[in-house]
Amino acid sequence: MSGSAEDERLRVQQLRALRRRWLRDQELSPREPILPPRKLGPVAAFWERFLQPGEPWRQQVHKAYQGGRFLILRVLLPAWAITYYLKYHLRKSPHGVVMTNPRILPGDRILETGEIMPPLKEDPHGHH
């Protein structure tokens, strides 16, 4: 009986040593990870150079973005909101809103042309 317990102890000791070695192998050295050099295509290389901090084009794009953002958020949207409110909520007769034309009945005079509206033709089928 004592032989199998010693074998079991030896096996457990070997497993522990293997685990410790495996865990030590998982630690990265200062030289790792070793990555292959990146080969960039023409578009990716352009963006890599373009997006470097401190580049003048990057600063110009940032200024244009900030200016556009200011224009949209501080000028265009408030102007649109004010115009919408004035046009549809404040005026009695809104500008630019299509109103229905007055009814023209037979015998009425059309204002634009001055002609008189002829009477409607009788419907021979009469299904009303």
Strands (E), the chain: none
Q: For residue 91, what pLDDT is reported? A: 67
Provide the 3-class DSSP secondary structure of residue 109: strand
pLDDT score, position 63: 92
Task: Output the pLDDT for position 78.
Answer: 97
3-state secondary structure labels for all residues of the chain: CHHHHHHHHHHHHHHHHHHHHHHHHHCCCCCCCCCCCCCCCHHHHHHHHHCCCCCHHHHHHHHHHHHHHHHHHHHHHHHHHHHHHHHHHHCCCCCCCCCCCCCCCCCCECCCCCCECCCCCCCCCCCC
| Distance between CA atoms of residues 8 and 15, nearest Å | 11
Q: What is the pLDDT of residue 68?
A: 95
Note down pLDDT in tens along the chain; length 128 residues. 457 899 999 999 999 999 999 999 999 888 888 889 889 999 999 888 877 887 787 788 889 999 999 999 999 999 999 998 888 777 666 555 666 777 888 888 888 888 888 888 877 776 65
- Encoded tokens for 104: 């023209």
In this prediction, residue 18 carries a pLDDT of 97
pTM for the model: 0.36
pLDDT score at 21: 96
